[in-house]
Structure 1
């Protein structure tokens, strides 16, 4: 019987989970159990669905199966580690030591094996989310407020004037660096597209818009609005002081 576990409801409401599992029955069962325990869950069955969800939503924790039909859970873990601050729990039937070692090497915070106990998974998610939140608050407290936005290329992060740090993907960083180089002047879509490493640009290309949309969501989650303004038929400019270091 699915049962609801007792826990602090304020903590639960902040935990957003993406579950990547190709087994439909298992995915539905885990999704129902996690939601019953007040976790906000988006469940997907493959890497393509994962990418679409990541482009439109933000998450605190990713629970990832390793054997997916179109990619490897290791690849997803590596991508999340390099481009986000999302906590990573690998949930798999693979029990070999080499798989566990690789999982942690790719950035997993926890490696759980199937069949998983529902209560164990709930508390693993809650505890990991709480630790990451605490670490983020300590990191923010260590950054001194300024009047400028800062792109830190070494840490690959954007720091807002109040000192909130947002992890950037490679293309998000290139996008902001190119805007910073123009010191408030408008940069065309074609220029930004090339600066971000895309091979070809057409007026119908939406890769730039997807990157900007994800970036706005990240900054909004940190309590700020990103001052990147679109100029009709011209491009984008950064409305404020932005420094690259």
Structure 2
């Protein structure tokens, strides 16, 4: 099994490629190399997979049928700790520059060789593991709540690990930016749903309610740290530290 040193599990990869033959071929090859790969041909499928699990590396084709691959790169860079590889038939200078500006770690022109892609994935994953393994100050380790940007989870002061969906993690990350100070509803709605209407407001309330319930299952203290500030928004009413590992 092709796992990195110190890890018992193989490197997890999400591959976004609309050419089904190429996608299936790469998924099969990378799987034979010991990587754990999930493939999809659309941006919608990409977001759905991110809701289900956290990946270490994303391989994204620019020419998708329902969105620009650059949008996916930008989203992944701002909402995860994944390493990002862009693959495309359009490997001109402007395309490469735009991808790097969006946050890509590596740019590969088509046709993509499976052997080279596998080596690139392992190199980026190993580099990322080394980066986040740097010793943290003792006061950070001893902090109350922790938001783990590598595993997309919330860790309680009692060291219980609460797994989060993409939207749950993004909500917590925004609240963590200003602990004990409310984040306004319009800002949350635009960041999480891209709109401020009745449907989005109901979705936000449902998201908060479900996240509170999830926290309460592991946190036996009275009350949830996510508090409602009526007519304003929500806040995280305790100390919280964002960690990369």
TM surpasses 0.5: yes
* Contact 1:149–1:159, Cα closer than 8 Å, also in 2: yes
1:192 shift after superposition? 9.2
Deviations 1:33-67 (A, max 9, x none): 01111100110111111111111111000000000
* Contact 2:12–2:37, Cα closer than 8 Å, also in 1: yes
Aligned to 1:174: 174
Match of 1:197 among 182, 189, 208: 189
> Could you say what the CA RMSD is over the residues aligned between the two structures, in angstroms?
4.1
Does residue 79 (structure 1) correspond to residue 75 (structure 2)? The answer is yes
CA distance in 2, matches of 1:96, 1:12: 39
CA 1:31/1:91 → structure 2, altered by over 3 Å: closer, same or farther?
same
Match of 2:91 among 89, 95, 99: 95
Residue 197 of structure 1 aligns to a residue whose secondary structure is helix
Q: Which runs of 5+ in 2 are unaligned?
A: 148-152, 191-195, 218-222, 227-235
Aligned to 1:129: 125
CA 1:170/1:9 → structure 2, altered by over 3 Å: closer, same or farther?
closer
* Contact 2:4–2:11, Cα closer than 8 Å, also in 1: no
Match of 2:216 among 211, 217, 229: 229
TM-score by length of 1: 0.68
CA distance in 1, matches of 2:197, 2:118: 44
1:14 shift after superposition? 3.5
1:238 shift after superposition? 2.5
Aligned to 2:136: 141
* Contact 1:62–1:89, Cα closer than 8 Å, also in 2: yes
Residue 14 of structure 1 aligns to a residue whose secondary structure is coil
Residue 189 of structure 2 aligns to a residue whose secondary structure is coil
* Contact 2:179–2:237, Cα closer than 8 Å, also in 1: no
TM-score by length of 2: 0.68
1:160 shift after superposition? 6.9
Number of residue pairs matched? 209
CA 1:211/1:47 → structure 2, altered by over 3 Å: closer, same or farther?
farther
Match of 2:114 among 99, 115, 118: 118
Deviations 1:131-160 (A, max 9, x none): 00110111x534632242267xxxxx9887
* Contact 1:55–1:210, Cα closer than 8 Å, also in 2: no
Aligned to 2:50: 54
Aligned to 2:225: 238
* Contact 1:90–1:108, Cα closer than 8 Å, also in 2: yes
* Contact 1:9–1:38, Cα closer than 8 Å, also in 2: no
